Every structure is written in structure tokens, then in C-alpha cells.
Amino acid sequence: MGLAAACTLSPIEPSAAGGDAGVPEAASAAGSPEAGADVVPDRPDAAWDQDVGSDVAATDRRLAVFGLRDGGVLSGEWVATYNHNYWWHDAGAELTYALFDIGSYAVHPDDRSFRMVSSLDVESIAYQPWPEGLMAYRDALRALGFAIDGVPLGGSVHVITAHDSYHLEEDGYGDFAFDLVLTDAQGARYQGDGTRNENYYTWGAAVTLPTGGYVIEVDRDEPDHDPGSYEPGAASNLVGIALGGSFYLYFLHFQQGSIPDDVRPDTLLPRGSHLGKVGMSGVTLEPHLHVVLLWYDASADPPRSWSVPVEFHGVGVAQTPAGPFISYDYVVPPARSWIAPAGARGPG
């Protein structure tokens, strides 16, 4: 169970290592609603949800137009919805909508590519036809190189939790995270009774950086604890990587003292760098690697981060550890699937 400590971020001004920092050529989504736009009801689901390996055809895309109670209008691609009813802290009858517009992408802290809108401020929601030339969120991330490029663990890698379960409870920091563990050939995550960290195949597994970038945050000295329980609010050993704009890729639950000394803030790390070993630090019930793409909202009061959708690039997905693995250029692997490098017949 991973709760990203992203609310404490003080981001450096990153370049876009791992992708082109420039804004891809695209029209802006800003504008007023056209007359006759279809009004649609409020909804609590995430617009990102797609079948494994699927792409949204341009003809299926629509621009969301939010009419605000103060008379204002916001428009953009409706990428996600965060349901505060599920949150661990400050739960309440509120939703936060994530609207994306590539035309507002910029170097941190000026990146306004996302606008987070409270349902309490929304009077109506309508759709318009997708503007010609506007780059969608999924395409923008691919153009910028913001993806989990390959598998950060070696072996039989199981997506134990994805965009479901307790991730939806993590106050907006985990909605689109992935929890990765290692299993044996039969899919078991541990041997013995599972009461010791050493029982778990993931314990001590090497973590490889899948996407290059600047180190933004490191915590390496938090203690590990035994499986099955945790201290509420326990800090996790983690590494945060600045990709570009206000997008940051975070890895949580490292083993105490396993993150190398050369992994330090302001350091540019290439893809394939060793980040450390999987441990049991922080809020977690068993050893696993928590991977999440965060977008930092510098204009919020107070500033905070949000978990936003991200794809894996160049991986195969299977429903059993033995395969068969279907290779994808880009994919969002679902919970309870196994992943391996693209082209692999089985675990790497």
C-alpha cells in the first residue's frame, strides 16, 4: 500500500530528460462552449479507463466543457476524476476533475497543462466535438517521452494493484499508481508463512530506472518493518524523478540504506540506472514497488501533487506468470496481470 509523500515536494526546475521539453505542436483547448453543446450528467468514473492495449480513436474523442457556478467556463480533455468520498484524510462528498490542455504545458513552475476543478464549483458539464489538431493527453505523453519504459524489476513481475482498491483512497496521490511484486512460476508472492520480509520474492529485488530524468527527491534512511502491519503515516524510502514540465515519476518502499549515494537531488540519471532495492519502508503490508506519475499543481492553495495516468512502453502483458505474453508498444497493464519486456515468452 503506497501513499506518495508528494505533498512535501519542492520541485527543482527540471529539463525534460527522457523526452522533448518543448510543447508538441497542437491547438489549445481554451475557449468558450459552442451553442448546442450536449449537456452530460456528472460522473465519478475515470475517463482514462481503456481496454488493455487499446487506443482512443480521434473520432471518439470529445472536448469537455465545464460551466462554473461563478459564471466562468473551463474546457479540455477530461482525463480523470478523483473521488474524495474514498479518501483517508478529509473525505467528503466532493469530486476533483482533471482537465488537460497541451497548449498550457510549460517548464515548471509555469506548467498549467492540467486544471483541477472541484465538483463543488461546477454548474454543468457539456461536450463539444474534438478540435482539429488538438493533441490528446495520451499522445502528448508519448511525444514528450513520459512513459514507464520497460519493466523496473527483473523476474516474474506481477501488477498486484493498479487503478483500483486502496489506491483510490490515497487522497489523490495514488489513483493511477502501479504496485509491482515478484512471484514464482505458479504466481505465489512468498514462500513459507509470509511473516518475514525474507519470505517474499520481491524483498531485496534490484530496481532499475525505466525513464531517465533529474532526481528531485530522495529518502533513503527510513526503517523497514515486518509484513502484515505498519505505522500510520510511516515515511517511505523513495526516489522522485523530474521528467519535464510538472511531471514527476516516483518509486516508493525501498529497503533502508539501499539507494546509492550517487542518486541525489539535481543529478541527471539515464534510463537503466540502479535506484536501490525493494524493501518494506512506509505504509505497506508486504514488500512491493510502488510506481506513480505525479503532476505538481503549483497554483493550488496549498500546492500539491496528483497521481495522473501513465502508460508502460515496450512491455508484454499476460494473465498468468507463464504467459502467453502479448507485446504492446504502449499499454496500461491491469491489476492481477503479469508484465515482461516486449517480445519475451516468459518472465525476464
Residues 152-174 have a mean pLDDT of 94
As given in the structure block, the three cell numbers for residue 244 are: 519535464
Q: Whole-angstrom Cα distance, residue 257 to residue 246?
A: 28
- The answer, yes or no, to whether residue 303 has pLDDT greater than 50, is yes
Min mean pLDDT across 35-39, 87-91, 140-144 is at 35-39
If residue 189 lies in a helix (H) or strand (E), which one and from where to where? none
103: cell is 497548449
Pairing of β 148-149 and β 312-318: parallel
Q: Which amino acid makes up residue 287?
A: P
Banded pLDDT at 155 (limits 50, 70, 90): confident
pLDDT(280) > 50: yes
The count of C-alpha atoms lying within 13 angstroms of the C-alpha of 342, restricted to the half-sphere facing its C-beta, is 13
- Pairing mode of beta strands 213-219, 238-244: antiparallel
The residue whose grid cell reads 452530460 is 40
What's the confidence (pLDDT) of residue 343? 80
Give the pLDDT confidence of 226-264 residue by residue, as tens digits: 999 998 889 999 999 999 999 999 999 999 999 999 999
Share of the chain above pLDDT 70, in %: 82
Whole-number pLDDT of residue 31: 36
- Grid coordinates of 132: 482539429
Contact 19, 145 (CB under 8 A): yes
Kindly state the average pLDDT of the residues 171-197: 96
What was the pLDDT predicted at 346? 61
Instruction: Give pLDDT, residue 156.
Output: 86
Structure pTM? 0.86
Q: Give the per-residue pLDDT at 233.
A: 87
Domains of the chain: 6-12+145-341 (2.70.70.10), 38-135 (2.30.30)
Half-sphere exposure of 89 (CA within 13 A, CB side): 8
Express each pLDDT in 11-69 by its tens digit. 332 222 223 223 333 333 333 333 333 333 334 344 444 445 444 444 578 999 999 99
Q: Across residues 127-148, what is the average pLDDT? A: 96
